[in-house]
Amino acid sequence: QKLNITPLNQIERKIFLTLYTEEIPMSYREICVRSGLPLSVITECVSSLSGKGIPILRSFCNNQLFVKISPSFKDLFAIAVK
């Protein structure tokens, strides 16, 4: 199966890799700490990643939003880049 993803800019790539290398959902604040990018950038870029074809799964716990990349997408991506 071919992945249909619009190319990512440098900041989007950094956030993608932060999410890609984590198995559990992350809050925007956790992404901010891991990536070293400002919270305002994280919010915008997660939406941008989704718009570019990266399937972002969202969940809420204790009124806080958590996001992660779809595990099935990770499997396809890993095969595609081999």
Summarize pLDDT for 12-58 with one digit per residue, the tens: 999 999 999 999 999 999 999 999 999 999 999 999 999 999 999 99
Give pLDDT, residue 28: 96
Give pLDDT, residue 8: 92
- The strand pairing partners of 59, in sequence order, are 66
Give pLDDT, residue 74: 83
* Half-sphere exposure for 54 (CA within 13 Å, toward CB): 24
Give pLDDT, residue 57: 96
Task: Write the CA distances from 50 to 62, 68, 82, integer angstroms.
Answer: 23, 11, 23
Give pLDDT, residue 82: 58
Task: Write the CA distances from 81 to 44, 65, 66, 74, 75, integer angstroms.
Answer: 26, 30, 27, 11, 10
Give pLDDT, residue 80: 66
